[in-house]
């Protein structure tokens, strides 16, 4: 009986000291956004979780869900086609499982363009390609 108790204690200690689960290490790193000066730095934030820090755009917090990475909603901006300004918008980002392509999807515009242009009834989706730096 004593051996069983020692074995259980060793197993419990091993579980307690085990490293926390993390995102697939193959997606962690830096990525160039094609046709843009933007660079994403991807770090693990736990099991199936990554944080994306952008050098020019909004940062994102993503979770792996059904084979793709999906961000929590964040505040970004959309390009105003009439006056070339930017309007604040609530956005989400999806990234394919291998971090080779993304889509930023506008949920709703919460700001206005300089000239008062309205996005009512429109959805603005921007897709792009990601290339991992060596």
Which pLDDT score, from 0 to 100, does residue 1 have?
54
Q: Which 8-state DSSP code applies to residue 57?
A: S
Q: Is pLDDT at 22 greater than 70 in this prediction? A: no
DSSP element (H, E) containing 4: helix 2-17
* CA atoms within 13 Å, Cβ hemisphere of 71: 24
> Per the structure block, which two tokens stand in for 20?
């926390």
Q: Which residue has the higher pLDDT, 11 or 95?
A: 95
- CA dist., res. 63 & res. 83, Å (int): 35
Instruction: Read off the pTM.
Output: 0.74
The yes-or-no verdict on residue 106 having pLDDT over 50 is yes
> Looking at residues 19-46, what average pLDDT do you find?
86
CA distances from 28 to 64, 121, 129 (A): 13, 37, 16
DSSP output for 9-37: HHHHHHHHHSPPP---GGG-EEEEETTSS
Average pLDDT across the chain, whole number: 83
């Amino acid at each position: 009986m004593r051996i069983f108790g020692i074995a259980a204690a060793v197993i419990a200690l091993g579980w307690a000291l085990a490293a926390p689960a993390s995102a697939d290490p193959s997606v962690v790193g830096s990525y160039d956004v094609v046709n843009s000066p933007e660079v994403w730095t991807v770090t693990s934030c736990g099991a199936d979780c990554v944080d994306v820090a952008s050098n020019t755009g909004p940062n994102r917090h993503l979770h792996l869900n059904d084979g793709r990475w999906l961000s929590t909603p964040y505040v970004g901006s959309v390009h105003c086609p009439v006056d070339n300004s930017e309007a604040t918008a609530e956005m989400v980002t999806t990234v394919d499982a291998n971090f080779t392509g993304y889509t930023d999807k506008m949920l709703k515009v919460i700001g206005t363009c300089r000239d008062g242009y309205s996005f009512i009834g429109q959805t603005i989706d921007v897709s792009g390609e990601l290339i991992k730096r060596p």
